[in-house]
Structure 1
């Protein structure tokens, strides 16, 4: 599985300004709901329920909010770069500026975990993360994220 299996180029949004984590989750829910023809409140509730279990801020300015939804048939992603970063209750307590939302089907146990692991592996590369913070064009950002060049 690769990121291109669940992230389309048009789902990369750069330099979004949001004041806090709550507004970020609302924005992610609204964007994902529009893409997948779902109710934004349903998506937001699922994201908030997941965050209540523990922050998805993995450190290094990166957050991987995700949720399982019965209405989702296959993994679906959305990538945002925030300017400036926001407090997110990340494990290292640093502000988050790179956010990869992943919505996954509720019923299939392994495929969704593979999608999340795929994103986590890519965003563990410090060189890639540094490049993603500098790229100005969403198409170039997508290309770098998905193929490493």
Structure 2
């Protein structure tokens, strides 16, 4: 699974201000649906929020992986933000989150959804990548760090 193929520079934002989990999910919903109207953005936000009610997608170590499904899509897509300040996200390690990678997949794509989530979990266990993401100064740096990541680069 090529994670870079899910992401675009337009859906990568560095230094985002969000004071709460809700605001971060709203911003991610907007990025995920840049090419759609307010109704689609609201539907994605509701899907991400509903998923969070089932259990936090905070992976730990400052990373959140909100994800949902959409009947509007025929291909998976992703968005990434690095927050200017960490926020409470109910992560498993109880640490605040400053890196959020959102995944949106087509409604009936169960197997692919699980494969992508597994790959993302592997990616965000890479301490070197997370450090690189936190050091990014611009949207293009953030996008290029994710696009350039390969599992063989991962920290042991």
Assess same fold via TM > 0.5.
yes
Where does residue 76 of structure 1 map in the other structure?
77
Q: Does the 8 Å CA contact 2:11/2:32 hold for their aligned counterparts?
A: no
> Residue 35 of structure 1 aligns to a residue in which SS?
coil
> Residue 34 of structure 2 aligns to a residue in which SS?
helix
Structure 1, 77-86 or 7-16: larger mean CA deviation: 7-16
How many matched pairs? 149
> Residue 30 of structure 2 aligns to a residue in which SS?
helix
Where does residue 145 of structure 2 map in the other structure?
144
Q: How far off is 1:33 after superposition?
A: 2.4
CA offset digits 1:56-83 (Å, max 9, x no partner) = 0010000000001122211100000001
The answer to whether structure 1 residue 111 and structure 2 residue 126 are counterparts is: no
Q: Does the 8 Å CA contact 2:60/2:92 hold for their aligned counterparts?
A: yes
User: TM-score scaled by structure 1?
Assistant: 0.92
* Aligned counterparts, 1:8-23, within 5 A: 8-23=8-23
Q: How far off is 1:121 after superposition?
A: 1.3
Q: How far off is 1:30 after superposition?
A: 2.3
Q: How far off is 1:34 after superposition?
A: 2.4
> Residue 82 of structure 1 aligns to a residue in which SS?
strand
User: TM-score scaled by structure 2?
Assistant: 0.88
Structure 2 residues not aligned, in runs of 5+: none
* Aligned counterparts, 1:89-100, within 5 A: 89-100=90-101
Q: Does the 8 Å CA contact 1:75/1:115 hold for their aligned counterparts?
A: no
Compared with structure 1, are the counterparts of its residues 67 and 145 closer, same or farther at alpha carbon in structure 2 (3 Å cutoff)?
same
Where does residue 122 of structure 1 map in the other structure?
123
Q: Does the 8 Å CA contact 2:13/2:138 hold for their aligned counterparts?
A: no
Q: Does the 8 Å CA contact 1:64/1:102 hold for their aligned counterparts?
A: yes
> Residue 107 of structure 1 aligns to a residue in which SS?
coil
